[in-house]
A and B are shown apart, each in its own frame.
Chain A
Amino acid sequence: MKFTLSWLKQHLETTASVQDIVEAMTMAGLEVEHVEDPAKKLAAFTVAKIVSAEQHPNADRLRVCQVDTADGRKEIVCGAPNARTGLTTIYAPIGAYVPGLDVTLVEKPVRGVVSNGMLCSAAELETAEESDGIMELADDLAVGTPVAAALGLEAVIDFEVTPNRPDWLGVAGIARDLAAAGLGTLKDQTVAPVPGTFPCPIDIRLTAPDACPVFAGRLIRKVKNGPSPDWLQAQLKAIGLRSINALVDVTNLLSYDRARPLHVYDAGKLVGGFVEARLGQGEESLLALDGKTYALTAEMCVIADSSGALGLGGVMGGESTGCSDETSEVFVESAWFDPLRTAQTGRATGIASDAQYRFARTVDTGFIVPGLDLATKLILELCGGEPSEIKVAGQAPAPPGAIAFDPAYVTRLSGLSVDAATSLDVLTRLGCTISGSGANLSVTPPSWRRDIEGKADLVEEVARIVGYGALPSTPLPPVNATSSGVLTPRQNRARMGRRALAAMGYSEAVTWSFTARKTAELFGGGSAAVVLSNPIASDLDCMRPSILPNLIEAAGRNAKRGFADCALFEVGPVFAGDRPKDQRTAITALIAPHAPRRWDGGAGEDVFSIKADLLALLDDLGAPTASLQTVQGSASPWWHPGRSARLQLGPKAVIAEFGALHPRILSALDVDGPVYAFELWLDGVPEQRRKSKARPGYEASSLMPLSRDFAFIVPVDQIAGDLVKAVIGADKALISGARVFDVYQGSGIEPGHKSVALEVSIAPKEKTLTEAEIEALSAKIIAAALKAGGRLRV
């Protein structure tokens, strides 16, 4: 929405500058987006007079002019055909920026003659689309007059209106708020009724009172339509509207002046002697004033006569009854259309007209007949004619009801120290009527402020006009909640996990919570409940069941840019369904190893690298890593079947999966392997239930630990984990651990078997072990291994 200072001054007696007004609007809640001030933009350009214009010695089409300017007499070379002696025009000095040419003037000879400035056209100043020669101005303008003053150009204020304030969609409404804020005096806005000289011959029928509850109209005959007078054309043009003809321009003027959209019908083209506001029916369509044809549904409010649809009520009129220069009888409509339906019609048709915008935000129910009278007055002034009496069908929605109000609530809710008298004065200036006394007031908002529904709204009005700048700064009362931290254990683990992985060399990514449905399906997702009905793109149409596909695709994009080596992680939500319990927090990490070649022959990363990082992470998170089972063969199908595993506390308590990604998955996502990854479900990691912050007592044995090596022959398909578990179980009191240090297959070992070598750590607790005791322990270890299928290698 735009307006100019002079338009505002039609409603507001004020000496405020544009800057004052912008400031006051901002602090009253009107967000000013932009001020286009020609006086500033064109400050360098001033009025000048050509004293003489002579033929350029070296160029047929150029003239050398002597010009009286703000900077004295200047010699300027000009190519315009109308550069002639005695012309009053516009001068730009050297150094001025010419917006229409996008150049800054420099002193340089033109065909051997130095030009000390430039004489400008309207197009060069961007005050007209195109121009033919330099500006020709009235001779009585003094040399040195700024161009904005010479042309009467005004600052245009462009601002955003929040949806609760449709009254700000008219300049008069803005003037009212600015007056209340102390920026000037509001001029009388009342409209004198224009009496009719004959009954309105056109009947008004309302058959859809929900869509159009009230419709006022009158006929004006013997009008002479045509171009609007200059003042009206200029006023509309200043805010970017195109002048059509006087009748249409009047409706546009009132739309912007009073937020009162109107419609004018060429009454000579109405058929049947009536207009009807009804819902769309059957196969109807409308050729609208924008030249497009719209299908009319039963959800839309349609204005019709006996010939059919004439327009979309409150949205756009139709071609068939549009007013032209030939119009001699005009039917003027001032109706009220339901905001929700108007908004829906706007969305369904894509029409965002000035009328639609206003009706969708609720038009003043108290200005239906006055709006029609004001339009009549203007039409009679511009086009002459005889008005009929006004016909009103239906009834306007009830005005806003009274609100019980205690002025002390202003201070209680806002903290402002405002006395009751000030509050009531502000509300009165905004148009409220107040009755009652003391703490038992009854405040009735004006008809144009349907957004004021309760006492908190009244507080906002007072606070906004008194000014938010006066709000006190009051410290919150202290609380003790911080003594034990504010994060839940899960939030804290997400935070620790993030920093642990970053420290291990992984870069944190934040990727979309959605993915393509077909990708989701590859990872066990894609159920109908999590598919978006209006995705932003077809490949982002489904909530992700896992973070893995997003990270794999990210690795692929990086590889395509030439950065194949990467380690990424993300902490975020994954979705198994659309219920709150279906959302889990995952920590997912991935390595796409393309490490640089090494001069020392050191080994690169493999699936055990990701296993090491996962276990380190679980340790950092306080997971019970000692009780975790590593289960192979049951991990999800997107993993390499032989190189992936689950970490679980039990079959129903799976904490994580890790491994190499399945090559088929990688190829479906167009990524080169191998890719190693893990996904850890934070919600699956049991919370530690420690009663005290103190750790259990520390007991370090003074006895030397010792270790013994064993090698066992097992079938090749036996997993080492079982053997290790059996060996540790041989004597839980003495054996503190066992670690595989060699796996061998080949010569010396029978086919189908492998040798697994373990270093067993023994931690005596009470006394140093004798050789005999160590021998006995060894025998127990060998026996336990044998039971688990491992024969001692000899």
Chain B
Amino acid sequence: MTDLATLEAQIVGAIGTATDLAGLDAVRVSALGKTGSISALLKGMGALSPDERREQGPLINGLRDRVQAALAARKADLEGAALDAQLASEHLDLTLPAPPRRRGGVHPTMQVMDEMIAIFAEMGFAVADGPDIEDDFHNFTALNFPPKHPAREMHDTFFFEANEAGERMLLRTHTSPVQIRTMVSQKPPIRIIAPGRTYRKDSDQTHTPMFHQVEGLVIDRDIHMGHLKWTLETFVGRFFETSEVVTRFRPHHFPFTEPSAELDVQCDRTGGELKVGQGQSWLEVLGCGMVHPNVIRNCGLDPDEWQGFAFGMGVDRLAMLKYGVPDLRDMFASDVRWLSHYGFSAFAAPTAAGGLS
């Protein structure tokens, strides 16, 4: 019988000095392979007497188990070292730039339009639209602008050449024609807003030949100016996100409303930033009034039965006020630096839960 202790020391020693998986496997084969030293001992047990087997059996099996464990442990060590080495060789400099990806955005005017639509949707207003190229009837006559009246001239209208029928089309100077189209085609009660592009021949820091309006129209049997006041106060508070908002209705004149008003909001403009709900200044926000009986009549409705209010506001201007844009012309210049500075994330859609801005 070989001295088991010597054999064990020899094998464990060889396991310990194996430097790679192949070397370790050679040790395993020499000990536990078909012709391995431990395998030979296990085979030899059959020739032993029962007493010897009772004595030698546990010793040889113990040896085999310990060697197997040592092999497994060493294998794990060597595999770990090999993985470490592989990972070390796979090192990357992660300060290098990732593939370029452009950052897109939503234009501030469109963002503000979405805000307005969300606010008015909560109050039950549907969204109506209509063509940008209009006729004189929808843009002026139906809205109670007498022919050749000075109020028409104040609109700085863009015209097209007259066609064979003598009809001269124009670019709508406000989205009010949509109100007319709605009242003509739809039975009251009506509760709509009309957002869209509008055009006037004017250009300076606060005027551009194209701009955006959102107009509102409510027609029913008993709608009065108090409803108008509540609607606009609610809107202004939601839009400027303050419950502190103080508004002022001021008489004004528009051909298509009677009585007419402009709405001012109390604000503070010191330090260049606009703060609504505090301060000593008034900011003119929009024009509004009760729809003129002539307008209601021009749409085929009886003004003694139906009445209501209308309002209109400049979207770009309110976007400028809310988000601190100094020059209206930049809104339409498509400068990528400006767009990325004033643009909004695609995922910043105004919601009641997430806030409207």
Seen from chain A, the residues whose Cβ lies within 8 Å of a Cβ on chain B are 26-29, 31, 162-165, 339-340, 343-344, 347, 360-361, 411-416, 454-457, 459-460, 463-464, 468-469, 471-482, 485-488, 491, 495, 498-514, 528-536, 540, 543, 550-551, 554, 557-558, 561, 563, 565-569, 571-573, 575, 578-580, 582-583, 595-596, 598-600, 602
Chain A residues in 8 Å Cβ range of B151: 163
Contact across chains for A413 and B290 when beta carbons are under 8 A apart: yes
Contact across chains for B104 and A508 when beta carbons are under 8 A apart: yes
Contact across chains for B292 and A456 when beta carbons are under 8 A apart: yes
CA distance A162 to B122 in the complex (A): 35
Query: Is B43 an interface residue when CB atoms closer than 8 A count as contact?
Result: no
CB closest chain-B residue, reference A597: B100
Beyond A487-B117, A575-B133: 14 further Cβ-contacts under 8 Å? A472-B229, A475-B230, A476-B230, A478-B124, A479-B191, A488-B127, A502-B106, A505-B103, A513-B132, A529-B169, A579-B133, A583-B131, A583-B133, A598-B97
CB closest chain-A residue, reference B209: A536
- Given the contacts A456-B259, A476-B230, A533 and B160 also touching, CB distance less than 8 Å: yes
Contact across chains for A414 and B225 when beta carbons are under 8 A apart: yes
Min C-beta distance of B189 to chain A, whole Å:
8
Can you list 20 A-B contacts (CB < 8 A)?
A414-B226, A456-B258, A456-B292, A463-B225, A468-B261, A474-B229, A474-B230, A479-B189, A481-B124, A486-B126, A508-B106, A508-B339, A510-B332, A529-B160, A531-B160, A533-B160, A566-B336, A580-B130, A580-B133, A583-B131
Contact across chains for A540 and B209 when beta carbons are under 8 A apart: yes
Count A-B pairs with CB separation below 8 Å: 266
CA distance A510 to B110 in the complex (A): 9
Contact across chains for B201 and A536 when beta carbons are under 8 A apart: yes
Contact across chains for B334 and A558 when beta carbons are under 8 A apart: yes
Chain A residues in 8 Å Cβ range of B294: 454
- Given the contacts A414-B259, A456-B293, A503 and B110 also touching, CB distance less than 8 Å: no
CA distance A134 to B89 in the complex (A): 90
Query: Is B343 an interface residue when CB atoms closer than 8 A count as contact?
Result: yes
Could you say which of A29, A478, A510 contacts B251, with CB atoms under 8 Å apart? A29
CA distance A602 to B346 in the complex (A): 27
Query: Is B150 an interface residue when CB atoms closer than 8 A count as contact?
Result: yes
- Given the contacts A26-B250, A486-B125, A529-B163, A580 and B335 also touching, CB distance less than 8 Å: no
Chain B residues in 8 Å Cβ range of A416: 225-226
Could you say which of A505, A543, A557 contacts B335, with CB atoms under 8 Å apart? A557
- Given the contacts A463-B259, A510-B110, A343 and B332 also touching, CB distance less than 8 Å: no
Interface string of B223-264 (1 = CB under 8 A from A): 111110111010000000000000011111100001111000
Seen from chain B, the residues whose Cβ lies within 8 Å of a Cβ on chain A are 96-97, 99-107, 109-110, 114, 117, 120-127, 129-133, 148-151, 153-154, 158-161, 163, 169, 171, 189, 191, 197, 199, 201-203, 209-210, 218, 220, 222-227, 229-231, 233, 248-253, 258-261, 290, 292-294, 307, 331-337, 339-340, 343-347, 349
Chain A residues in 8 Å Cβ range of B197: 513, 572-573
CA distance A582 to B131 in the complex (A): 9
CA distance A26 to B250 in the complex (A): 7
- Given the contacts A456-B293, A459-B259, A533-B161, A505 and B336 also touching, CB distance less than 8 Å: no
Chain B residues in 8 Å Cβ range of A579: 131, 133
CA distance A459 to B291 in the complex (A): 13
Min C-beta distance of B173 to chain A, whole Å:
13
CB closest chain-A residue, reference B340: A507
CA distance A508 to B112 in the complex (A): 13
Chain A residues in 8 Å Cβ range of B122: 482
Chain A residues in 8 Å Cβ range of B189: 479
Min C-beta distance of B325 to chain A, whole Å:
13
Could you say which of A162, A506, A566, A595 contacts B252, with CB atoms under 8 Å apart? A162
Contact across chains for A499 and B349 when beta carbons are under 8 A apart: yes
CA distance A507 to B201 in the complex (A): 27
CB closest chain-A residue, reference B96: A599
Contact across chains for A474 and B224 when beta carbons are under 8 A apart: yes
Contact across chains for A534 and B334 when beta carbons are under 8 A apart: no
Residue of B127, B248, B249, B336 with most chain A CB atoms under a 10 A cut-off: B336
Contact across chains for B159 and A473 when beta carbons are under 8 A apart: no
Contact across chains for B161 and A531 when beta carbons are under 8 A apart: yes
- Given the contacts A413-B224, A486-B127, A558-B334, A508 and B110 also touching, CB distance less than 8 Å: yes
Residue of B104, B131, B220, B294 with most chain A CB atoms under a 10 A cut-off: B104
Contact across chains for A473 and B229 when beta carbons are under 8 A apart: yes
Contact across chains for B153 and A343 when beta carbons are under 8 A apart: yes
- Given the contacts A469-B249, A503-B347, A454 and B293 also touching, CB distance less than 8 Å: yes
Contact across chains for B229 and A464 when beta carbons are under 8 A apart: no
- Given the contacts A557-B334, A583-B133, A505 and B233 also touching, CB distance less than 8 Å: no
- Given the contacts A532-B160, A536-B209, A414 and B346 also touching, CB distance less than 8 Å: no
Min C-beta distance of A277 to chain B, whole Å:
20
Contact across chains for B224 and A509 when beta carbons are under 8 A apart: no
Contact across chains for A415 and B346 when beta carbons are under 8 A apart: no
Min C-beta distance of A765 to chain B, whole Å:
38
Residue of B171, B340, B345, B346 with most chain A CB atoms under a 10 A cut-off: B346
Min C-beta distance of B218 to chain A, whole Å:
7
Contact across chains for B250 and A563 when beta carbons are under 8 A apart: no
Could you say which of A509, A533, A550 contacts B339, with CB atoms under 8 Å apart? A509
Chain A residues in 8 Å Cβ range of B346: 499-503
Min C-beta distance of A773 to chain B, whole Å:
43
- Given the contacts A29-B250, A474-B230, A540-B209, A567 and B102 also touching, CB distance less than 8 Å: yes
Chain A residues in 8 Å Cβ range of B343: 502, 507-508
Could you say which of B101, B169, B345 contacts A578, with CB atoms under 8 Å apart? B169
- Given the contacts A460-B251, A503-B346, A481 and B126 also touching, CB distance less than 8 Å: yes
Chain A residues in 8 Å Cβ range of B218: 476
CA distance A558 to B210 in the complex (A): 21
Contact across chains for A513 and B97 when beta carbons are under 8 A apart: no
Chain A residues in 8 Å Cβ range of B349: 499
Could you say which of A339, A513, A596 contacts B210, with CB atoms under 8 Å apart? A513
Chain A residues in 8 Å Cβ range of B251: 27-29, 460, 463-464, 468
Contact across chains for A530 and B160 when beta carbons are under 8 A apart: yes
Q: Which 4 A-B pairs have the closest CB atoms?
A: A415-B226, A29-B251, A460-B259, A554-B334
CA distance A27 to B42 in the complex (A): 113
Contact across chains for A482 and B107 when beta carbons are under 8 A apart: no
Min C-beta distance of B253 to chain A, whole Å:
4
CA distance A27 to B210 in the complex (A): 31
Min C-beta distance of A478 to chain B, whole Å:
7
Contact across chains for B158 and A347 when beta carbons are under 8 A apart: no
- Given the contacts A344-B148, A481-B191, A502 and B104 also touching, CB distance less than 8 Å: yes
CA distance A488 to B121 in the complex (A): 12
Min C-beta distance of A183 to chain B, whole Å:
15
CA distance A411 to B224 in the complex (A): 8
- Given the contacts A508-B107, A536-B209, A563-B337, A495 and B114 also touching, CB distance less than 8 Å: yes
Contact across chains for B259 and A508 when beta carbons are under 8 A apart: no
CA distance A478 to B101 in the complex (A): 46
Contact across chains for A474 and B227 when beta carbons are under 8 A apart: yes
CB closest chain-B residue, reference A580: B131
Contact across chains for B133 and A578 when beta carbons are under 8 A apart: yes
Contact across chains for B335 and A561 when beta carbons are under 8 A apart: yes
Could you say which of A464, A473, A509 contacts B233, with CB atoms under 8 Å apart? A473
CA distance A164 to B127 in the complex (A): 32
Contact across chains for B129 and A491 when beta carbons are under 8 A apart: yes
Could you say which of B100, B149, B231 contacts A476, with CB atoms under 8 Å apart? B231
Chain A residues in 8 Å Cβ range of B258: 454, 456-457, 459-460
Contact across chains for A164 and B253 when beta carbons are under 8 A apart: yes
CA distance A413 to B258 in the complex (A): 9
Could you say which of B104, B109, B120, B340 contacts A503, with CB atoms under 8 Å apart? B104
CA distance A283 to B127 in the complex (A): 56
Chain B residues in 8 Å Cβ range of A502: 104-106, 343-346
Could you say which of A504, A510, A557 contacts B107, with CB atoms under 8 Å apart? A510
Contact across chains for A499 and B150 when beta carbons are under 8 A apart: no
Chain B residues in 8 Å Cβ range of A503: 104, 346-347
CB closest chain-B residue, reference A463: B259
